Amino acid sequence: MAVLIVGGGLAGCSTAFELVSRGQNVVLVESASTIGGKVRRYGCKAADRCLNCGLCLVGDLWNQVESHPQIQLRTETELLDVMGAPGSFSAVVRHADSLDIFDGISHIVVASGFVESSRAAVGAVEYSHQAPGIITGLELEQLMSERRRAALWDGEPPKSVAFLQCFGSRSLRDRAQYCSRVCCSYASRAARVLKHYYPDTRVVFLHMEQQQVEPGSYWQSLEADGIEFVRSRPVTVRVGPPHTVLYERSVDSTIVEESFDMVVFSEGMYPNPDGERLAEVCRLSFSDEGFLKAVRDSSETGVSVVGCAGGPKRIEEVVAEALQTARGICGGVR
């Protein structure tokens, strides 16, 4: 018997490693050519101290999963169909032009993750895909991951940076009438890293609201570091350089125009478009926001949804849910 995990990102890999640590066999299928998903491209956000971004929880997970003898890893592979009943599923998967069937699947874990908002469908915010100095939150993460131990930029750093929070949020056009919750966390920590490296750089947060990131006076501590916060709604961005951000200031409904060397679109989390197919194959349902959810308790259906496939979550929340799911499966496997 084995547990089938669909998705090799943080949720899938954390679940897989906990399962094999408890004696279970795992079949892990991932549509990409490598495991790790988006988290593998994230950068540490420690400045003069650890800022609790959650990446320390990942550790050597990817190598542990790739090398573990009880994990049968299949990359560039997708789940096509599931037959049978809980405790005795058969799963049909496709790799390139070949089909394989895995029998003896005791449980299925769907960890298909999320997608970030597209540069091509931003709604009211318009900009060029190739404009230098306009990046997304994920691109900033990659920059910090690749160049964390050196200068973040070649040459002169930007003199001013605007973080556009709630990017694509509360928008019918962008399919996100909800708060992704994670944006405040990763963007504010990234901003603190920028101020640590480049204290003379002006950093401005344009936001509709602020989520709690840490207990205590977290946001006040950022202001003490010189980071500015403006409650507002972005209207549009005109490509420069410098780039001009037009936003509606909430306190007096005034349209304000400011120029910045760099603009960071803090992306939220969107349901994976593959969710509709996986819901049909694995007999799942959807939340009001469009993320996957189980129709009944997983002890009855034999199918669990883990991580951001089920909605926006921070790294520590994903890991905790993955461990809890794996332990629940082990308790139910005879």
Element (H, E) at 48: none
Per-residue pLDDT of the chain (334 residues; tens, 9 = 90+): 999 999 999 999 999 999 999 999 999 999 999 999 989 888 777 766 776 777 888 889 999 999 999 999 999 999 999 999 999 999 999 999 899 999 999 999 999 999 876 443 444 444 444 577 888 888 888 887 775 555 566 678 899 999 988 766 555 455 556 777 788 888 888 888 888 888 999 999 998 877 777 777 888 988 999 999 999 887 788 888 889 999 889 899 899 999 999 999 887 788 999 999 999 999 999 998 899 999 999 989 999 999 999 999 999 999 999 999 999 999 855 4
Coil, strand or helix: which one is 254? strand
Residue 124 pLDDT: 40
**Cβ neighbour number for residue 101 with a 10 Å cutoff:** 11
- Nearest in space to 163 (alpha carbons), one of 145, 189, 143, 142: 189
The domain segmentation of the chain, as residue ranges, is: 2-115+270-332, 134-267
Please tell me the distance from the alpha carbon of residue 12 to that of residue 29, in angstroms, as a whole number: 9
- Nearest in space to 204 (alpha carbons), one of 139, 122, 264, 128: 264
Q: Are 3 and 109 in contact (CB under 8 A)?
A: yes
- Residue owning tokens 């949020």: 169
Residue 139 pLDDT: 83
Residue 145 pLDDT: 76
Q: Biggest alpha carbon distance in the chain?
A: 64
What is the β-pairing status of strands 88-95 and 77-85?
antiparallel
Q: Are 201 and 160 in contact (CB under 8 A)?
A: yes
CATH superfamily of domain region 2-115+270-332: FAD/NAD(P)-binding domain (3.50.50.60)
The highest-level CATH class for domain 134-267 is: alpha beta
Q: Are 270 and 116 in contact (CB under 8 A)?
A: yes
Peptide bond into 132 cis (omega under 30): no
Common-topology check for domains 2-115+270-332 and 134-267: yes
The type of residue at 181 is: R
Peptide bond into 157 cis (omega under 30): no
Q: Is 202 exposed, middle or buried (0-12, 13-18, 19+ CB in 10 A)?
A: middle
